[in-house]
Each structure stands twice: as C-alpha cells, then as structure tokens.
Structure 1
Amino acid sequence: MFKIGDYVRFIDEKREGYITKIIDDLTVGVTDTDGFEIPVAKSNLTYVHGHHANADTANNAMPAQQVDEKFAEDGIFLAVAEDNKASVVAHFTLVNRTSYQLLLSLKTEKAGIYKGEFAGVIQPKASVQIYTANLGDLDNWPNFTFQTLYFTSGNKQPQKPLHVEKRFKSKDFSGAKGQIAEVNKYGWLIRLDEPALVIDAKKLKESFFNVKEEKPKVAKPPQEVDLHIERLRNDYQFLTQTEILNVQLEQFQKMLDAAIVHQMPSIVFIHGVGNGTLRDHIHKTISKHPQVRTFMDARKEKFGYGATEVVFKV
C-alpha cells in the first residue's frame, strides 16, 4: 500500500518522485524532482528499492547507546523536518532524550476513522521515524494520539504512562526552524512530555497584590521590509557573503513571524536582484509556509524583480 513519503517510479515513463497526496483509493499525487505534483494511478507506480520512507519501523529503533551517568527522567520530543529531496514531505521522528527505554504507539483519527500508524521500542538517547505527512496539507492532518510506557532495569520508581492527544495547527510551525541533532536537519521540535503546571496557592495569592509587569510586545513590521545588508548592519563591509546572507535571512524570518502575529494581510520583502540567492531562500521558505496563501513579484514598476509580496491566509 502506497503512503505519503514513499519514493516511487512511473512504470510507463522515465520519471521518479515522492508521493505527497492520497487523492482516492486508486490515485495519488506524486511530486517529481521539478517540484510539480502530478496525479497518477497507483497501478502505474512501483517502489524504488531502498527509498521506502514509510516502511514498517517498529523494529528499526537505533541500538541502545551508552546512558549518561546522570539518569535523564524526561525529554520526549517530536521532531518534524522536511525531506531532503521533497520539501513538501514532512517526516515525524520521535526523539527520546531520556534514559528510559520507551514502548511507543501512535494512532491517528480523522472523521471518526482510527488508524494505527506505529508501534515499537525506542532505546534511551535514540530516535525513530514514525510518520510522514504533506506539510502543505496541514489543515487536513488527522488528530494524533501518542501513548508511551517507560522501562528501565535500574532502581527507579515506575513512571506513569504518557498519553498525549495532539491536533497540529499552523502556529506549531510558524516559528523559525532549528537544528535537530538527532535527525541532522533543520526542523521544528515539539515536546510531548511537557511537565504539568503546578499552581502555588501562596504565590497565586501574592500575585493579586503585585503590579503585573507589562510583557514585551512584538513590534508590528513595516509594510515594506528592506533586506539590503547596508540597511541592516553598519559593519557589512567586514562580513563574508555567507554571514551577509545569514543576517538577511534572520531579519526576513523575524519580520515574517511578526507580520503573522499582527495578522497583517500581506507584507513586501525587498531583496534586490543580485545573484538570486536571497530571493531563492525566501521563496523556498514561503512556498511551503502553512500561513502563506500566495506570493508574487511586488510592484514591478518600482522594484522590478527585486521584491516579493507575501499574502497571508485569512
């Protein structure tokens, strides 16, 4: 049975790609190396050996590693990262940073239909890929239920089983991606064993009599954000090309996030023409951002091809 994330080859022509959408019982959407999604009959596809992204992984947990001298009681995360070859494909990896051996099960539910997706053992300080989805189809993702049992042969009081029900929303992926060592990729890291909130009655009482400090607010960005390096740094002459690009991308991500927070309908990023590197990075990010409806060249009569307007979903 074909699944999202499987790497397949067309039977009647020389073309390969990733399955990025299940259209119906007979048809799937395949995104090829050019980034175009093509509806294809399942009967016209075959697996490419060694590329089964959604193959059964219940027994594929990484071998047990040397556990730290200090026993780690918590640290269970879900890493969501894009596929190296198909950015619209998002792989879910369970990251176990605890010193426990975990028995994990994942079940999904959509429109009252439940489906078992994964069951297996995850060793201490190890990680296992457990699910794959289409990042651009976030609104149609199912509800996720994670259930975990903890095991250690050491002298430890038994942990209560972990039960997490999760419905992913756009805000879960609106922040900047970070480097995730366990998968060696940039992505989003979501903690599953978040400690329960403990309310201190005494401190709660005292808070009623204390003046609350105003929390810092995210400033609303201008409608047009100029990313030319001379606008961002006075010392740009001393920066390498890589450092310049990193500064520009950091400012772009900061302003993009701020525009979403303030629910702006659109924003323009002035990136210039140059060699196209900055423009390509920006377009790659917004093309798969769950909050972006569309993007286009902004006011060609003023900027030529040196600016991009981003239009957000309502």
Structure 2
Amino acid sequence: MKYQLGDKVLILHSDEEGTIVDFINDKMVMVDVRGVKFPVYLDQIDFPYFRNFSQKKKTAQPRPRQHVDDLRKEKPAPVPKKEDGVWLNFLPVSDTDEFGDEVVELLKVHLVNNTRTAYEFKYGLGFFGAPEFELKNTVQSFQNFYIHDVPFADMSDSPSFEFEFSLVQPQKTKATHFETTIKIKPKQLFARIEELRQKNLATFSYKLFDVYPDKAPEEDPMELSLNKLSNKFKVYNAKEARKHLEPARSVVDLHIEKLTDDASHMSNFEMLTLQLDTFEKFYNLAVTHMQPTLTIIHGVGTGKLRDEIHDALRLKKEVNYFVNQYHPSYGYGATEVHFKY
C-alpha cells in the first residue's frame, strides 16, 4: 500500500487536505480533516503534491489600477453547517476469506452529532436483554464520536443500542434527559449492508432524534395523583366512597396461581409485585370496613413474600399486632393481622 499512518492526503471530491489516522481494510482508510474523522476509499484520495506539480503555474497578471473611491469588498460569510439531528453510525469493516469473497468482520460504531448543541450521553449495548457494554461521555456539536467495535457475528443476538442524553448546558425550557433505543434485526442489517455495496457507500446510520425535546408541562400534584389513581381504580366522591367499595375479605390467599392464569410468563419480580399489590389492596379494604382481623396466606417457600409483608405491617399505624404461628389449615404459611381503631 502506498500510504502510511500520518500521511497528508488530498480528498478528491472536496479538494481538502487531511491526515490518515487509521487503516480500515485494504480499500478504505480513516482520515482527519480539521478534527473531523471519517472513512474514505483509497481511490478517493491522493497525495497533495501530485496536484501541486500537475497544476499549471498561473502567469502573473498586472494588478488593476485602484481609485481612491474604490470600496473594499467584504469577505463572504461562512456557510453555516447543516443541522439534521443526532445519529448512530455504523462502519462495516470487511476482510477477504479463503475463497476470495469479501466478508464483514466487525462494525465500528460512532455517535454523530449534527446539531449546534453539546450533549452528555450514557450508552449501553445489550444482547437478548442482557447488558454487554456501557459508556458515559460527552459529544460536542458537529462531532463524530467513536464508541467501540462490535463483532459482526454478535449482531444476530438481538442487539439493543440504548442512549440517555442530557444537555451539557442545562436549559429551563428543555427536558432534563432524553432516552432512545435502536434495535436492529438481522434481516434489516443484511439489507443495509447489501445496499452499501450496491451504492458503493462506506457507512449506514439510524437517527436517534432530530431536536432535543422541550420540558414537559408541569401538572398540579393533586390532579396528577388523581389521574394516576383513575388509571387503576374508579374515583368517587369521598362522602360516597364506602358504598362503592368491594367487600373486604377476612382471608386473602396470595399464592400466585390464585391471582393470575399467566404466571408462567412472569418473572419472579413481576410475581412478587403482583402479590404485594394484592396484599395492599385487601389490607386497605379491611381498614376501610373497620375489620378486626385479616389473615394473609403467603405460603412458606423462601420466605421472601412473608418478610416483605411483615416489613410493611411494621410501618402501618392501624396494626395492633400480627403473628405468624402454626395454624391447622395453613401451617406456618399465614400471618394473622389484628387491627386497632
């Protein structure tokens, strides 16, 4: 190869000079032009001295006579950079296999900020929902930020590229943070790479956002609480509330099969959450109906559900005392709560 790291080269299509900072494969290199790094094909660059020797020297032209009243022309204003959002950019790096075919080995992942705003970001890559790689950093305005390399073979494991952005200079009218995720299916990935080959392009990208979002309007705390309650329960006038409540229970069975028919698709955390929510519901009903006792069947198991319920009961002011003793019907798998009013 006629080029080496650090060589000064001329970008033919833009007539700009840059420096070679990395070799991607036998057809492409990474160049740096005034602090901006991007990949180019070898046939798109040349040594700048070829241009200097090949250009004909301009013959000296006589300087036109100037008059006192001639006005100096102003320098043309610089062309503003185009803002088109923040992107997740992928650069496929290929190699040739033993049969002479070009095979993609890895993807170089870049965060491209084509806006006038600098952002702090948290990045996470996960496969099948499990975290694999994390990074925190800052991307400046109109900067191409290299994140890491991802083996191409791993892209068939349901990759998820997760970002959380925040402003380097916070603004009162803007959101405190913004989250977005890109999930790529293998079929989509192969189609994008085939499109690159057909169009002779170097990279493909996914847009993360166009404009950083504004801050959501603040809601009245009381109204917000009522709105949240109305999503789960019917909300009535306080004076008429009791007659709309469902009857209280003296015994509540929290075994998961008693609460749902879909337990096989739930995680341990989801099942525990459902059981504790049910406990809270019937505890509140018992208190509202001035019930003297309430028996909670939690089973024995590992004791996790029992301990969570006991911790909650210790903090409730309506509880006089509670006991978890042997019961002829439930063994040690139930707790009896006695109330005080």
With normalisation by structure 1, the TM-score equals 0.34
CA radius of gyration, larger in: 2
Q: Say which structure, 1 or 2, has more relative contact order (CA 8 Å, 6+ apart).
A: 1
